[in-house]
Amino acid sequence: MKAVGTDYDNGKKVIIMEDNTTTYDKSTGEKVPEGCSVEIHGVYADTGEEAQNYGDAERAGFYTFPPGSEKKSYLMWNTEIGAPSVVDFVREEDHEGIHTYLYETVETRKVFDPTPAINQNVIYTTTTKYWVEPNSGLVIDMEKTSEKKVDIINFLIGIPSPIWVKAYSLTLSFSDDMVKELVEEGKEAADLMKLSKKTMPAMEVNLSVANLLDSVKAAKIQKKQVEQLSNSKVKAVDLHYWMTEDSVKASADEAKTSGFMLTLFEAIIPILLVIFGIALIAVWVVNRP
């Protein structure tokens, strides 16, 4: 699965996703054409929902769990059957070292399967569990068991019958390495999402060094990472100024010198004015007619 482009739908960002599924025969290592597919989805970036008029088919529900996942049921698009499935909240639990919400789909129903090898109604049975980091909506782990049964007579000669035969059964889960990687991504995403829910400093810069610009740049980068995950604004930096001891001493000495000079001027200026006045009087006396 990968993002292949972006678009905007009435101001809402849409991510174009390519969902590529490849199935191999375990015994031969060869691809199984019936199990290979490529789907194009349009997904709203802020909610994880399928965007209408995007992708290669009309779809409904959520493509993935949204940021800020809630303790409720979601209607999720099920790529296995090309239809939405209800995913129910089960409980909160710690899973693989991270706090998660456990969701589960348990259903048996008749649906139309568009898979080229089947292309008819099937009885679909599944139990699928999702462990989701709720702040980011990231799926940390997943376990799926599912089965499809086809009307064998209808499949062979096109006449409906009550005879249903298992077409395939599937067991799917994430590898241990993949779970570990997703747990780390989930922790990082959760920390950023928690920051994005409130206005707070992303970094405090202590201005006693010469690398202020580098520190501010780092704060701005972290600010952008947080704001990309939500519409909340984050204050990039708090500046705390202080002076070194040498600077304080130099400033104190300068202040003392300035204070002494002011005191000196306060005493000298009146004396100079008196002397200047006496001189003017003397000049007037000498020069009077």
Which of the listed residues 26, 41, 63 is the one where a domain comes to its end?
Answer: 63
User: pLDDT tens for residues 235-280?
Assistant: 444 444 444 555 545 555 555 555 555 555 555 666 666 676 677 6
pLDDT of residue 246: 56
Range of the domain at 118: 64-197
Q: Does residue 178 sit in the same domain as residue 207?
A: no
* Last residue in a domain, options 165, 197, 229: 197
Residue % of the chain over a pLDDT of 70: 57
- Residue 118, pLDDT above cutoff 50: yes
Indicate whether 155 and 48 sit together in one domain. no
- pLDDT > 60? residue 44: yes
Please name the amino acid found at residue 118: I
**250 within domain boundaries:** no
Residue at 53 is within a domain: yes
Same domain (yes/no): 123, 188: yes
Task: Tell whether 4 and 97 lie within a shared domain.
Answer: no
Considering the domain architecture, whether residues 188 and 237 belong to the same structural domain is answered as: no
Residues 166 and 96 in one domain: yes
pLDDT tens digit sequence for 87-97:
999 999 998 88
Q: Tell me what the mean pLDDT of segment 162-172 comes to.
A: 85
Is the pLDDT score of 150 beyond 70? yes
**Per the structure, how many domains does the chain have?**
3
**Average pLDDT in the 137-157 region?**
88
In a domain, 256, yes or no: no
d(CA 148, CA 125): 7
pLDDT value at residue 10 = 77
Is pLDDT above 60 for 173? yes
Contacts with 219 (C-beta within 8 Å, 6 or more apart), sequence order: 202, 203, 205, 236, 237
Measure the CA–CA gap between 91 and 103, rounded to whole angstroms: 7
Identify the domain boundary among 142, 173, 197: 197
Instruction: Please tell me whether residues 146 and 202 are part of one structural domain.
Output: no
**Domain shared by 41 and 17, yes or no:** yes
Residue 211 confidence (pLDDT): 47
Report the pLDDT value the prediction gives residue 27, as an integer from 0 to 100: 75
The number of residues making up the chain comes to 289
Q: Measured between alpha carbons, how far is 87 from 79 in angstroms, rounded to an integer? A: 14
Report if residue 96 sits inside a domain.
yes
- Residue 135: what pLDDT? 87
Residue 54 domain flag: yes
Do 31 and 98 reside in the same domain of the chain? no
Does 287 map to a domain? no
Q: What confidence tens digit (pLDDT) does each residue in 190-243 have?
A: 666 555 444 444 344 444 444 445 444 554 555 555 445 444 444 444 444 444
Whether 174 and 206 share a structural domain: no
Please, which residues have CB within 8 angstroms of residue 145's CB and are 6 or more apart in sequence? 126, 127, 128, 169, 170, 171, 172
Q: Which residues pair with 17 in a beta bridge?
A: 3, 41
Look at 197 and 188; give whichever has higher pLDDT.
188
**Residue 254 lies inside a defined structural domain of this protein:** no
Find, among 26, 37, 48, 65, the residue nearest to 182 by Cα: 65
Inside any domain, residue 228? yes
Q: Which ranges constitute the DSSP H helices of the chain?
A: 152-157, 176-196, 212-228, 245-287
Q: Given this model, what pLDDT does residue 2 score?
A: 64
Note whether 219 and 229 are same-domain residues: yes
Same domain, 50 and 2: yes
